[in-house]
């Protein structure tokens, strides 16, 4: 289960593909943010989802909403995945799984991230959420619908 709407998003610091590290409360203060958790770089479903965020990225940029993909893959794998698919947004490495767990996005037995996307408002409260392992492209359209309400 994803965190409920209205919940304060857990703060975190994670290493990013081209920005060093990102701290939610510091680097993204007073900004709405999209955080999408996904299982693994270079898998079919995760590649489809990442490329859908890439293809729709202009809509998020126009609204000044940064997009961050988060998985347990390491930084080197993230950098390769980002370069291979020309992703215009940051990927964050949560190798320990602590952030995935804090966002209720860690599958319990296999310790792999679930596919959950959160929209955080400018106070970093959960304003929208979409969860679905096999609805790869639907995560993007769900966030765009939420933003256009």
Run of H or E including 82: helix 75-84
Tell me if 4 is assigned to some domain.
no
- In the chain, the number of structural domains is 1
CATH of the domain at 109: 3.40.30.10
Q: What is the mean pLDDT of the chain?
A: 91
CA triplet 135, 139, 143: central angle to 5 degrees?
A: 155
Tell me if 1 is assigned to some domain.
no
Q: pLDDT tens digits for 12-30?
A: 999 999 878 999 999 999 9
Tell me if 56 is assigned to some domain.
yes
Q: pLDDT tens digits for 79-117?
A: 999 999 999 999 999 999 999 999 999 887 788 888 899
Percent with pLDDT over 90 in the chain: 74
Tell me if 87 is assigned to some domain.
yes
Tell me if 130 is assigned to some domain.
yes
Tell me if 62 is assigned to some domain.
yes
Q: What is the pLDDT of residue 51?
A: 94
- The pTM for the full model equals 0.93
Number of CB atoms found within 10 A of residue 117's CB: 27
| CA separation, residue 140 to residues 71, 97, 111 (Å) | 17, 23, 24
Catalytic residues: 46
Burial of 96 (0-12, 13-18, 19+ CB in 10 A): exposed
Tell me if 7 is assigned to some domain.
no
Give the domain range for residue 80. Answer: 13-147
pLDDT over 80 (residue 132): no
């Amino acid at each position: 289960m994803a965190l409920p709407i209205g919940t304060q998003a857990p703060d975190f610091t994670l290493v990013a593909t081209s920005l060093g590290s990102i701290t939610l409360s510091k680097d993204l203060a007073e900004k709405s943010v999209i955080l999408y958790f996904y299982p693994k770089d270079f898998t079919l479903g995760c590649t489809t989802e990442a490329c859908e965020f890439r293809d729709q990225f202009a809509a998020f940029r126009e609204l000044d909403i940064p997009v961050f993909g988060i998985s347990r893959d390491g930084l080197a794998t993230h950098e390769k995945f980002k370069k291979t698919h020309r992703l215009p947004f940051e990927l964050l490495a949560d190798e320990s799984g602590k952030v995935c767990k804090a966002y209720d996005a860690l599958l319990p037995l296999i310790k792999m991230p679930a596919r959950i996307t959160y929209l955080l408002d400018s106070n970093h409260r959960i304003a929208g959420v979409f969860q679905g392992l096999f609805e790869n492209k639907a995560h993007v359209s769900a966030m765009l619908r939420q933003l256009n309400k």
